[in-house]
């Protein structure tokens, strides 16, 4: 039997039972259709777990993902990054293969070319100042829609993403972020409809707001991606428990520095990423919490620093816990800050059930 | 002709002329043999440029690199991360193929197994408190050496790395870091020789100290890796100029937020990594400086924020420069904080001469 003691470290372990439970939890609370974002998992097998043989709907962050999921039979795909003109040919190629691939627009300039290519688009709305999108009250929405429509394209609707919800610090703030996300999207959809466009799709979502939204009136689909794995940032804002984290990085102890209170591992930032998302939270978890191979957390032990191929574990500053005596060669799990970034450092998942037996190896989609 | 206008963004562009100049500069100043660290480039083609048909010596950070470079004909390889016992079989397999693969030890526990496997090892010395290694005056060096020797292995010598040199803030501090690195390594080598071991190798190095060392008496080889590409962290401590950076990330403008002073690109942290190495320097360069496709820097324009597939460009805080008017679809280069981390986000380099014509595509070694 292959177990988590077998593959060369560092590698990603994925607990299929926790993955299933995370998916069931969100599916159980949402009555609105879910369009999961596969930018976190980037795995055809995870996509299949999200659906029972259905062909979507899914969300992707790269055309490489769109192509991989289309090849696996997914035909309802949203590419949720503003479209660059150079990428239209690849979108058209997928659409000609029968994939309903939809793109995003937030300005007039590229809309004519998207229209001429007969590509449906959502208009991106900025609900909280995090990246692209038009302001909810900006009449440019109608100009983008007209340009798209007159070019020959379809105004499929609107999309927004509550990026600020990742920094919410209470259930009330999460509920408010979800409500703001909904209101901004519905406002622009209503405006477009008043301007004569059907705009059937109103797409909202983020992992935090998908789990806290109280009212989704007017919303036609909810996007979330991180929820399949969760991470310490999500645990820090109260969206999940630390025990819900489905993906961990397995590392091996390679040395000790008792004079410094350090345990060294072979999992550096190449294995965890440089993401330090919890640094801005109430509890800074360093590069991650540390558990044994069975998943039992080690008391107040953190991965506190990283070089390319070295991880440094030490006791949380201020804690009275003692550095445990862990021999060279012992394998440990690191619970990551940010699942999307940590997963991106790896090419595959070693998939286990609740035991440490490896049931499968699932590849990840890479590149753009 | 394929140019940097052709590949789908984001991607890595590698200027072969700058790469050659960076290599020539370090080779020109060092009289001591160079054992370049290939953890930055992870490219067989870059390794070949570093040597004229010779089979090394090289340094690697993973056994995947060791295997890839061995397959390309490199037979003198140092694996410069403390050895985990589970990895000895792979080391032995390479050695049986005629590769002189050497490992690192900094404790007694794994030394017997390394010895029994007939693997030569360097003893790792900590010269400035950055990760593994024994203290220079610690007599445990002799105990590690004896355990290795009695097991059947070879005490090849000592190794140290001036990790603190990345935080040096003046030429004098860099010279001092190099001198400290040399003294620590030579001290332990002398101690081992007094204890009856030959310890022929005294290996030191980092990109900063390799460029500032004034005296390498007693040192037999110098390691450096980052220097082939350089990056903004190295420019920030004065080891190179910004114009020396050989590797950049090519991105495309996908939108504008004039109300926020933002230009959005399709190059987020997935393309640049989350590394913010310059945040601790005198001049914080955000996620990187911005140049046009010809490499001409745009005045005080920085990549100031990143989500997974979105980069945000804005004017440096405090600068009077105006946000340039750059249309959607325009390609821009991002000069990275940390070449090792940025390169790790990609699978290949698009290699150019001083023009933007692409001469070759070089793959990178991935995984562990």
Delineate the domains of chain A, giving CATH numbers in brackets: 35-223 (3.20.20.10), 242-363 (2.40.37.20)
Q: Do A132 and B82 touch (CB under 8 A)?
A: no
**A230 token code pair:** 């969760």
A273 in B contact zone (CB under 8 Å)? yes
Q: How far is B345 from chain A (nearest CA, A)?
A: 7
A interface test, pick of B12, B328, B331 with most A CB neighbours within 10 Å:
B328
| Residues in B touching A9 (Cβ below 8 Å) | 84, 86, 368
Is the Cβ–Cβ distance between A62 and A84 less than 8 Å?
A: no
Chain A: residue whose CA lies nearest to B343:
A270
Give the integer Cα–Cα distance in Å for B335 and B13: 10
Q: How far is B129 from chain A (nearest CA, A)?
A: 8
Please work out, in degrees rounded to the nearest 5, the angle formed at the alpha carbon of residue A270 by the alpha carbons of A268 and A272: 70
Q: Do B254 and A82 touch (CB under 8 A)?
A: yes
Q: Is the pLDDT of residue A54 over 90?
A: no
Q: Is the pLDDT of residue A51 over 90?
A: yes
| Residues in A touching B307 (Cβ below 8 Å) | 130-131, 163
Give the integer Cα–Cα distance in Å for B37 and B206: 9
A109 in B contact zone (CB under 8 Å)? yes
- Tens of pLDDT, residue by residue over A100-109, are 999 999 999 9
- Tens of pLDDT, residue by residue over A186-236, are 999 999 999 999 999 999 999 999 999 999 999 999 999 999 999 999 999
Q: Give φ, ψ of A249 to 5 degrees.
A: -105, 120
Considering chain A, what percentage of its residues have pLDDT values greater than 70? 100
> Residues A147-164: what's their mean pLDDT?
96
In chain A, the N- to C-terminal Cα span, in Å, equals 36
B327 in A contact zone (CB under 8 Å)? yes
> Residues B330-337: what's their mean pLDDT?
98
Q: Is the pLDDT of residue B356 over 90?
A: no
The separation between CA A53 and the C-alpha centre of its own chain, rounded to angstroms, equals: 22
Please work out, in degrees rounded to the nearest 5, the angle formed at the alpha carbon of residue B344 by the alpha carbons of B163 and A304: 45
Chain B: residue whose CA lies nearest to A305:
B131
A interface test, pick of B121, B263, B308, B341 with most A CB neighbours within 10 Å:
B308
Q: In this structure, what DSSP letter does residue A183 have?
A: H
Determine the pLDDT at residue A173.
95
In chain B, the N- to C-terminal Cα span, in Å, equals 36
Is the Cβ–Cβ distance between A201 and A158 less than 8 Å?
A: yes
Determine the pLDDT at residue B281.
95
| Residues in A touching B271 (Cβ below 8 Å) | 368
B218 in A contact zone (CB under 8 Å)? no
**A204 token code pair:** 């909202």
The separation between CA B251 and the C-alpha centre of its own chain, rounded to angstroms, equals: 23
Determine the pLDDT at residue A340.
98
> Residues A276-290: what's their mean pLDDT?
97
Is the Cβ–Cβ distance between B366 and A346 less than 8 Å?
A: no
Partners of residue A348 on adjacent β-strands: A363
Q: What's the whole-number average pLDDT of chain B?
A: 96
Q: What's the whole-number average pLDDT of chain A?
A: 96
Q: Give φ, ψ of B72 to 5 degrees.
A: -90, 5
> Residues B204-221: what's their mean pLDDT?
97
Q: What is the sign of the dihedral through the CA atoms of A318, A322, A328 and A333? A: negative
User: How many CB atoms within 10 Å of residue B34?
Assistant: 21
Determine the pLDDT at residue B235.
98
A98 conformational bin, left if phi > 0, alpha if psi -120 to 50, beta if neither = left
Q: Is the pLDDT of residue B344 over 90?
A: yes
**Alpha-helical segments (H) within B107-202:** 111-116, 140-151, 171-194
Please tell me which of the candidates A83, A269, A347 has its beta carbon nearest to residue B366: A347
A135 in B contact zone (CB under 8 Å)? yes
Q: Is the pLDDT of residue B52 over 90?
A: no
> Residues A64-86: what's their mean pLDDT?
97
B330 in A contact zone (CB under 8 Å)? no
Pairing status of strand B311-315 against strand B262-265: antiparallel
Chain B: residue whose CA lies nearest to A264:
B132
Give the integer Cα–Cα distance in Å for A99 and A93: 9
B218 conformational bin, left if phi > 0, alpha if psi -120 to 50, beta if neither = left
Determine the pLDDT at residue B262.
97
Measured CA to CA in angstroms, residue B330 lies from A105, A335, B254 at distances of 16, 39, 8
Long-range contacts of A97-104 (CB under 8 A, 24+ apart): A97/A70, A99/A66, A99/A70, A99/A74, A99/A75, A100/A75, A100/A76, A101/A66, A101/A70, A101/A77, A102/A77, A102/A78, A102/A156, A102/A201, A103/A79, A104/A79, A104/A80, A104/A132, A104/A159
Q: Do B256 and A107 touch (CB under 8 A)?
A: yes
DSSP per residue, B284-305: --TTEEEEETTSPEEEEEEEEE
User: How does residue A52 score in pLDDT terms, banded at 50, 70 and 90?
Assistant: confident
Give the integer Cα–Cα distance in Å for A350 and A356: 10
Determine the pLDDT at residue B330.
98
**B85 token code pair:** 């016992």
Pairing status of strand A331-335 against strand A155-160: unpaired
Q: How far is B305 from chain A (nearest CA, A)?
A: 9
Is the Cβ–Cβ distance between B178 and B201 less than 8 Å?
A: no
- Report the run of H or E that residue A248 belongs to, with start and end: strand A247-257
Q: Do A307 and B345 touch (CB under 8 A)?
A: no
Determine the pLDDT at residue A130.
85
Considering chain B, what percentage of its residues have pLDDT values greater than 90? 94
Of A168-177, A240-249, B33-42, the range with the lowest mean pLDDT is: A168-177
Which of A245, A325, A348 lies closest to A288 in space, CA to CA? A245
Q: Do A344 and B270 touch (CB under 8 A)?
A: yes
B interface test, pick of A279, A328, A345, A347 with most B CB neighbours within 10 Å:
A328
Is the Cβ–Cβ distance between B55 and B223 less than 8 Å?
A: no
Q: Is the pLDDT of residue A55 over 90?
A: no
- Tens of pLDDT, residue by residue over B248-274, are 999 999 999 999 999 999 999 999 999
- Tens of pLDDT, residue by residue over A285-325, are 999 999 999 999 999 999 999 999 999 999 999 999 999 99
ipTM, two decimals: 0.96
Determine the pLDDT at residue A131.
85
Q: Do A83 and B368 touch (CB under 8 A)?
A: no
> Residues A135-159: what's their mean pLDDT?
97
Determine the pLDDT at residue B131.
85
């Amino acid at each position: 039997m292959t177990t988590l003691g077998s593959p060369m470290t560092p590698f990603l372990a994925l607990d299929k039972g926790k993955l299933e439970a995370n998916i069931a939890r969100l599916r159980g609370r949402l009555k609105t259709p879910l369009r999961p974002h596969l930018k976190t998992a980037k795995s055809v097998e995870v996509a299949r777990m999200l659906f029972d043989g259905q062909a979507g709907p899914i969300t992707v962050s790269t055309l490489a993902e769109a192509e991989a999921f289309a090849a696996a039979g997914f035909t309802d795909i949203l590419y949720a990054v503003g479209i660059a003109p150079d990428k239209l040919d690849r979108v058209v190629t997928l659409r000609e293969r029968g994939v309903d691939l939809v793109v995003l627009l937030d300005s007039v300039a590229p809309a004519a070319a998207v229209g001429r290519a007969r590509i449906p688009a959502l208009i991106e709305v900025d609900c909280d100042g995090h990246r692209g999108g038009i302001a909810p009250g900006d009449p440019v929405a109608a100009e983008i829609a007209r340009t798209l429509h007159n070019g020959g394209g379809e105004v499929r609707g609107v999309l927004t993403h509550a990026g600020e919800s990742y920094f919410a610090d209470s259930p009330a703030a999460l509920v408010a972020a979800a409500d703001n996300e909904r209101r901004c999207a519905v406002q622009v959809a209503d405006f477009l409809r008043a301007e004569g466009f059907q705009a059937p799709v109103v797409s909202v979502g983020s992992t935090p707001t998908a789990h806290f939204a109280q009212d989704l009136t007017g919303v036609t689909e909810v996007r979330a991606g991180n929820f399949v794995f969760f991470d310490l940032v999500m645990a820090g804002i109260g969206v999940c428990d630390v025990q819900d984290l489905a993906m961990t990085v397995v590392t091996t102890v390679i040395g000790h520095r008792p004079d410094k209170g350090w345990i060294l591992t072979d999992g550096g930032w190449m294995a965890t990423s440089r993401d330090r998302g919890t640094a801005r939270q109430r509890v800074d978890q360093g590069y991650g919490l540390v558990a044994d191979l069975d998943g039992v957390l080690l008391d107040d032990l953190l991965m506190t620093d990283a070089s390319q191929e070295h991880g440094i574990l030490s006791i949380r500053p201020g804690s009275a816990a003692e550095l445990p005596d862990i021999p060279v060669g012992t394998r440990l799990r690191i619970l990551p800050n940010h699942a999307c970034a940590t997963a991106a450092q790896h090419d595959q998942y070693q998939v286990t059930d609740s035991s440490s037996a490896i049931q499968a190896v699932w590849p990840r989609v890479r590149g753009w």
